[in-house]
Amino acid sequence: MNRVTHYLPLVLFIFLILGLYTFLDREESDLRSVLLNKDFPNFSLSRLDNEEIVTQDDLLELPSILNVWATWCIACRVEHPFLMELKNESRIKIYGLNYKDDRNKAIKLLDQIGDPYEFSIFDKEGKLAIDLGVYGAPETFLIDNEGIILVRHVGVLTPEVWERKFEIVLSKLKEDAK
Amino acid sequence: MQSKLFIYFLLIYSLSLQSESSKEVYVFANDVDQGRFYFLLDTYRCPKCQSSNLAGSNAPIAKDLKREIHRLIEEGKSNEQIEAFLSSRYGDFILYKPALRKNTLILWIGPFVLFFLIIFFVVRWNISSKKQPIDLETENIVKAIERTRLKKLVEDE
């Protein structure tokens, strides 16, 4: 038997390990939204703060981000200060999607800690969330001027994530507009 | 002692009954639809928990998807339409059986390639090991010696 076939199992094994390492490590991209580069789904749901019905046409100020949140979601509290910062510095408009929550609790919480959203959509049953492919909170979507979803981020929105995933796309949008 | 154990058993069993009864009940127009419902729940992966199918999950999102599947069946949607509904939102991720496409090709043909590779090398190694010249006579003598040694060992025991 020659030397090459002798080492073949080892070589195959190394390839297997490398393959598993690269593919299993890409959790985020495995869960990427299939809705990327597609139209924001149509919806017709009540606002959180009153009974008024809102639809996709009420997302007026585009580009903007849509942030999925809930009072039961602890990680949402972690990103909340950053959302407030985005709002206060007028860097972008934020729409909220209040996901499977209690309306009174949610309104109360925003009163206490501040409301970074233009308005929140009240999605008690998770209907719009399913159309968006949401499976938890927090999640954040970037919607461009034409109502197309460009970025999806699962998990806490940190300044670092903002820079890396959102800011890049936004600056490109601005450039294209010029 | 025995009766005490029995009471413990009943207590524990009643707990599991309670958790069973808290599950949502889905009513269908006919048995076929109901069968389809449970088939579909077994077929798709829960997006949140990742290692369990929809049927086995109590995550909020799994409950929502169960409700949606129930609604779609009631609306008379076919299994294919329901699969399209789910995969257009949650992607290939929720499919235990991925569609045959360019990027999923490795999943489909990978095992066969691996299988034939293994067969190939096993056969090759067998052939190359058989090529070594075997002296039958010597082998028989060795075997005889081994046998007597074994016998002796057994008898000594």
Shared domain for A39 and A15, answered yes or no, is: no
CA-based nearest distance A100→chain B, Å: 8
Shared domain for A4 and A77, answered yes or no, is: no
Shared domain for A98 and A166, answered yes or no, is: yes
Task: List where CATH 1.10.8.640 sits in chain B.
Answer: 2-99
Q: Does residue A136 belong to the interface with chain B, where contact is any CB pair within 8 Å?
A: yes
The CATH number of the domain holding residue A127 is: 3.40.30.10
Between residues A17 and B136, the one the model is more confident about = A17
| Per-residue model confidence (pLDDT) at position B133 | 62
| Per-residue model confidence (pLDDT) at position A1 | 53
Q: Does residue A23 belong to the interface with chain B, where contact is any CB pair within 8 Å?
A: no
Shared domain for A56 and A91, answered yes or no, is: yes
Q: Tens digit of pLDDT for each residue in B26-61?
A: 888 889 999 999 999 988 888 877 678 888 888 888
Shared domain for A70 and A127, answered yes or no, is: yes
Chain B residues inside the 8 Å CB shell of A126: 60-61, 64
Identify the domain containing residue A14 by its residue range. Answer: 1-30
A1–B128: do the CB atoms touch at under 8 Å? yes
| Per-residue model confidence (pLDDT) at position A28 | 53
pTM beyond 0.95, yes or no? no
Shared domain for A59 and A12, answered yes or no, is: no
Shared domain for A18 and A98, answered yes or no, is: no
Q: Which residue has the tokens 């929140």?
A: A120
| Per-residue model confidence (pLDDT) at position A30 | 46
Our count of domains for chain A comes to 2
Q: How far apart are CA A38 and CA A140, in angstroms?
A: 15
Shared domain for A69 and A80, answered yes or no, is: yes
| Per-residue model confidence (pLDDT) at position B21 | 42
A134–B61: do the CB atoms touch at under 8 Å? yes
Chain B residues inside the 8 Å CB shell of A155: none
Q: Tens digit of pLDDT for each residue in B57-113?
A: 888 888 889 999 999 999 999 999 999 999 888 888 788 877 777 777 888 888 999
A126–B61: do the CB atoms touch at under 8 Å? yes
Q: What does the H/E/C string look like for chain B?
A: CHHHHHHHHHHHHHHHHHHHHCCCCCCCCCHHHHHHHHHHHHHEECCCCCCCECCCCCCHHHHHHHHHHHHHHHCCCCHHHHHHHHHHHHHHHHECCCCCCHHHHHHHHHHHHHHHHHHHHHHHHHHHHHCCCCCHHHHHHHHHHHHHHHHHHHHHC
| Per-residue model confidence (pLDDT) at position A5 | 72
B93–A30: do the CB atoms touch at under 8 Å? yes
The size of chain B, in residues, is 157
B89–A133: do the CB atoms touch at under 8 Å? yes
Between residues B119 and B131, the one the model is more confident about = B119
Shared domain for A58 and A74, answered yes or no, is: yes
Shared domain for A54 and A9, answered yes or no, is: no
Shared domain for A22 and A70, answered yes or no, is: no
| Per-residue model confidence (pLDDT) at position A33 | 64
Shared domain for A16 and A47, answered yes or no, is: no
Per-residue pLDDT 10s for chain A (178 aa) are 566 777 888 888 999 898 888 776 655 544 566 778 888 999 999 999 998 999 999 988 889 999 999 999 999 999 999 999 999 998 999 999 999 999 999 999 999 999 999 999 999 988 899 999 887 889 999 999 888 999 999 889 999 999 998 999 999 888 887 7
Fold classified for B2-99: Helicase, Ruva Protein; domain 3 (1.10.8)
Chain B interface disruption, residue of A123, A135, A149, A152, most B CBs within 10 A: A135
